[in-house]
Amino acid sequence: PPPQAGEVVGSFGEEGEGESDECFLAFARIFSGVLSVGQRVFVISALYDPLKGESTQKHIQEAELKSMYLMMGQGLKVVKSAKAGDVVAIRGLGQYILKSATLSSTRNCWPFSSMAFQVAPILRVAIEPSDPADMGALLKGLRLLNRADPFVEVTVSARGEHVLAAAGEVHLERCIKDLKDRFAKVSLEVSPPLVSYKETIEGEVSNMLENLKVLSKNLDYVEKTTPNGRCIVRVQVMKLLPSLTKVLDESADILGDIIGIMSGQTVKSLETQGTNILEIGNPAEVIKKRIMDAIESDILCRIENDEDHAEKCRLKWLKLLRRIWALGPSYIGANVLFTPDIKAESSDSSVLIRGFSQLSERLGFVADSGNSNSVSEASSNESQVLYMDAKRLESNVITGFQLATSAGPLCDEPMWGLAFVIEARITPSTGHDESETHQQSDQYGIFAGQVIATVKDACRTAVLKNKPRLVEAMYFCELNTPTEFLGPMYGVLSRRRARILKEEMQEGSPLFTVHAYVPVSESFGFTDELRSRTSGAASAILVLSHWEALLEDPFFVPKTEEEIEEFGDGSSVLPNTARKLIDTVRRRKGLHVEEKVVQHGTKQRTLARKV
């Protein structure tokens, strides 16, 4: 028979288990052929490739269609078969499909790509049962909700919390109601919304050439030493170009394909894009072109008149791009680790952990010349041992970098848009006999673990030293309101730290259109307050736009004469917005928060004591 292919638009499954009279139905459209009850079909996921054969067998399963229905309004009409063009509900596919899939009567069928949504589920809450004994029912309910709703995301955080991500407040409210009433049928405790932040440093793009000179001359660095004193780590940090950061952030899926790392986000992106990755051709060439175009556009935008200055910046960046050691966090993030400058060799007996610009070779910035870390230059046995130790510790330096970029110093949020140069040198062991060396290892722990911890601490300290800043997600907000309600609307926007971009009157209409950026942390309850202040006349559309650094210094201390005159010695300075957000995140994560225990120490407080 001709192949029957239909994209299953919803993820539903049969989970009755004898306890409930409800079951899930798969909502599908038939594109060709005839689909019949009792027919056996192949269920193909979006990552299946018929040309690769056995390597993609895990993405294809065989299932039997138990029953089929025509969806007639609120009712279902049982049918024996359906033809091309029909939209039907199918029973019996629940255990084979998570979100979406393609049905076909043959294995030689290319799958449809997964559904692509215009927005991402960004409103996240942590949920737990009111009674800990109901945890099993909650887990079962979360699995059913994850299948029933193609848009919802259920994850487990690093702290062990079950996090539910939804599109907005109304969607989240509906998901919680379904969990309580239909899927889990238990009482739930829902946390306040969890907002993601990132951490970066202050940096002016206008003086990028000076920053590159500092980075290449080893002038400004943070130095740490391992507890046993054998490894000295020096770390320098610089802010990346905004356009380069954006390219690395948006190309995480292709970078994961190049490096060979498949995170959950990468898999979902590949499912959504379908065969777009295959159409790209060579992913490394695509990433290389994007990076070069981003650097070129940023240099031309910042330096328009001085050609010599622009050419120097271009050459400096080309040299740096040949030294890319790794990306972080998760090896596909928007932070870059560069190999140390080999020219800066030491005159003492220490050996530099040189690293290897493997990512630069994969992206095509340098030719494949093999690993340059040879031990041929080592003359004595002691030097050979040191060079072998340096070679083995390269992975530990990368691990320390990954740990540092995944949890920054401000509030343990991922770092964003930073470039690191880590120069680690190891020296010979001070122990003269094996017993003394063994005792030293037992006292301070394994040497590789010491290097990881020292690199992590040095990176975090370098960020703290270079004026750290908090980065928050921003919504693009489009508002429509009549003229008489412009004042209340601007009042709502100003209370939520919004930044107005454009305001114009619609021709032939009494409505004003206002475009603004609203922080995600201030968006909860925004539409409800807007409706109440404008009597329901104003409407708003929120779409996740970009990440933006807060300009406020979370550790502000008055230094200049004007600041001292205004704020005094700093003891009475109220926490700014950045510090409040950092303290909120640290308090939620159980980290230490510096706050006054006694708010009114100079005032006498008398309380009535009633016996």
User: Do residues 475 and 519 touch, judged by C-beta distance below 8 A?
Assistant: yes
Q: Which amino acid is at 548?
A: E
b vs e for 26-37, b when ≥16 Cβ sit within 10 Å of the residue's Cβ?
bbbebbebebeb
Is-contact 496 526, C-beta < 8 A? yes
Q: Quick check: 165 and 122 in contact, CB under 8 A? A: yes
The residue whose two tokens read 């002038």 is 219
Q: Do domains 123-190 and 201-207+221-466 have the same CATH topology?
A: no
Kindly report, residue by residue over 59-111, the tens digit of the pLDDT: 888 888 888 998 877 788 899 999 888 889 988 887 788 778 899 988 888 88
* Top-level class of domain 123-190: alpha beta
In 179-282, which residue ranges form alpha helices assigned H by DSSP? 208-217, 242-250, 252-259, 264-273, 276-280
* Cβ atoms within 10 Å of 353's Cβ, excluding its own: 25
| Segment holding 492, helix H or strand E | helix 486-495
The H or E element containing residue 298 is: helix 283-302
Compute the CA torsion angle 325, 330, 335, 338 (nearest 10 deg): -10
pLDDT of residue 433: 43
- pTM of the prediction? 0.77
Question: Kind and range of the H or E element at 90?
Answer: strand 87-91
Would you state the structure tokens that stand for residue 596, as one six-digit string?
């006054």
Positions in the chain short of pLDDT 50: 1-19, 262-267, 269-279, 370-379, 432-439, 611
According to the model, what pLDDT value does residue 199 have? Answer: 95
DSSP 371-409: ----STT--SHHHHHHHHHHHHTHHHHHHHHHHHHHS-T
Considering the domain delimited by 201-207+221-466, tell me its CATH architecture.
2-Layer Sandwich (3.30)
- Decide the pairing of beta strands 418-426 and 335-338: parallel
Q: Which residues, 6+ apart, have CB-to-CB distance to 396 below 8 Å?
A: 448, 449, 451, 452, 455
Pairing state of beta strands 60-64 and 123-129? Answer: unpaired
The rounded distance, in Å, linking the Cα atoms of 585 and 398 is 27
pLDDT at 518: 94
The two tokens of residue 410 are: 């401000």
Separation between Cα atoms, residue 505 and residue 253, nearest integer Å: 41
In whole angstroms, give the CA distance from residue 129 to residue 137. 9
Cβ atoms within 10 Å of 264's Cβ, excluding its own: 9
Residue 216's pLDDT is what?
59
Query: What are the strands, taking DSSP E only, across 483-610?
Result: 499-505, 511-519, 539-549
Contact 107, 56 (CB under 8 A): no
The first and second tokens of residue 587, run together, are 């308090």
Tell me which amino acid residue 194 is.
L
Q: How many other CB atoms are found less than 10 A from the CB of residue 430?
A: 11
Which token pair is 475? 């919504």
> Is CATH 3.30.70.240 the right assignment for the domain spanning 469-549?
yes
Q: What pLDDT is stored for residue 188 in this prediction?
A: 92
The C-alpha angle 314, 406, 243, rounded to 5 degrees, equals 25
User: Closest by alpha carbon to 126, among 105, 142, 113?
Assistant: 142
Q: Which residues contact 593 (CB under 8 A, 6 or more apart)?
A: 583, 586, 587
Beta strands in 167-257 (DSSP E): 188-190, 197-201, 222-225, 231-239
pLDDT at 214: 57
CA distance 390 to 564: 50
| Per-residue pLDDT at 211 | 61
Q: Token match 């004591």: residue?
A: 609
Distance CA 61, CA 58 (A): 8
Rounded Cα distance, 355 and 340, in Å: 8
- Domain borders along the chain are 5-104, 123-190, 201-207+221-466, 469-549
d(CA 226, CA 415) in angstroms, rounded, equals 24
Rounded Cα gap, residues 466 and 199, in angstroms? 12
Class of domain 5-104: mainly beta
